[in-house]
Structure 1
Amino acid sequence: MRKTANERREDVVRAALSGFSRYGLHGTSTDSIARDVGISQPYLFRLFPTKRDIFLTAGRVCFERTYHAFATAARGKTGEDALAAMRQAYGELAADRELPLMQMQLYVAASSDEAVRQQVSAWWKGLWTLVSQTTGLPPHSITDFMACGMLINVMVALGVSGDHQGWDVLGKHGRNAMGDLTESSPPLKVVRALFS
């Protein structure tokens, strides 16, 4: 049975997430995305007007997955309990390298493309607002949480081995989560531990 245009768009986004997360906006060809989906390049551009549109749609899916995971994990919780639930949820998401790598590619593309920067900035602010409003914690706690998430993204992108002390410093969940960070283990101490 032939797929609908909407089903093909979903296929394109899945293939694009895989390609863009590894090779970025400029390193991923639309030809390779079309080939992965089994469609022609002209048909790809009937589904999405530009390569940037494909990239931003894949980016939106990436941020929506994170937002949904945080909101679901923290449902009915506030304060440190909500933050701990979101840490666990992000650890589970980050276990699939595609998500943290796609986030890194989005940030890189944002540095040289104003349209990407505006959209990624809005998504990032949305995550910040969700964490802040859900937890009710002060800004320094939200900053620590977001910074540790970025540290996880960097460690995943660098392929830091599972036995590296940096994962242990991130808390009891080690490789799969940010763990139970406290005031005594803010991101600066994590970074110092990584490079000491």
Structure 2
Amino acid sequence: MKKSSATSVNRKNDIIAAAIEVFAEQGYYRATTAQVAERAEISQPYVFRFFSTKEKLLVEALEASWIRIIEAFQKIVASAPGNELEQQLITVYADIMNAHRNEIILQMQAQTIQEPAIVEVMQRRFHEIHEMVYQAFEKAGIERPLERTLLFLARGMLCNISMSLNLPELMKTED
């Protein structure tokens, strides 16, 4: 890859990272591309060089956040023994939540945005996670794999709420 191509890819990634932060902090509708540009330490026209609209920038930011989860889950699904599968998925998701809090907040906010492109990303990626976990649970011989998949996803959503509201007691269980 030429140096200018590598620099261009890095700048695009910098813009996406800045957008994740700004959108998570301000909310999509309040955030501006000027704020994203400022956070990325570039000019606003440079943002539009890569993303023709704020919505396209949000789509890419969401995709980046989902890819992180999907790739982490794929690694676990490929290597975890069946009896450790669910716990390893929970652990890796908790690690992502701790390291990439703004990505999770962004996804939570995106669930309420009714723009077709945003709805499509959210539906497609949730479906992908659901199918991956269900198939892994089924292959591992986990009893009632569909129900366990739904409970796993519901627990993930509760983890998101617990994190965003800073209410860790929502996640306490009996020992």
TM-align CA RMSD:
2.0
Shift of 1:115: 1.7
Letter in 2 for 1:99: E
CA contact (8 A) 2:59 2:117 kept: no
Q: In the alignment, which of 143, 153, 163 is matched to residue 160 of structure 2? A: 153
- Name the SS of the counterpart of 2:172 in structure 1: helix
Alignment of 1:3-152 (within 5 A): 4-77=7-80, 79-96=82-99, 97-109=101-113, 112-136=114-138, 137=142, 138-152=145-159
Shift of 1:167: 2.6
Which runs of at least 4 in structure 1 moved beyond 6 Å after TM superposition?
A: none
TM-score by length of 1: 0.77
Per mean C-alpha deviation after superposition, the further-off stretch among 99-108 and 58-67 is 99-108
Gaps of 5+ in 2: none
Cα deviations across residues 105-162 of structure 1 (Å, max 9, x unaligned)?
Answer: 12122xx2122101210011011111111221421100000000000111111121x4
For 1:7 and 1:93, the matched residues in 2 are separated by: 22
Gaps of 5+ in 1: 173-196
TM-score by length of 2: 0.86
How many aligned positions are there?
166
Letter in 1 for 2:92: A
For 2:92 and 2:55, the matched residues in 1 are separated by: 29
CA contact (8 A) 2:62 2:103 kept: no
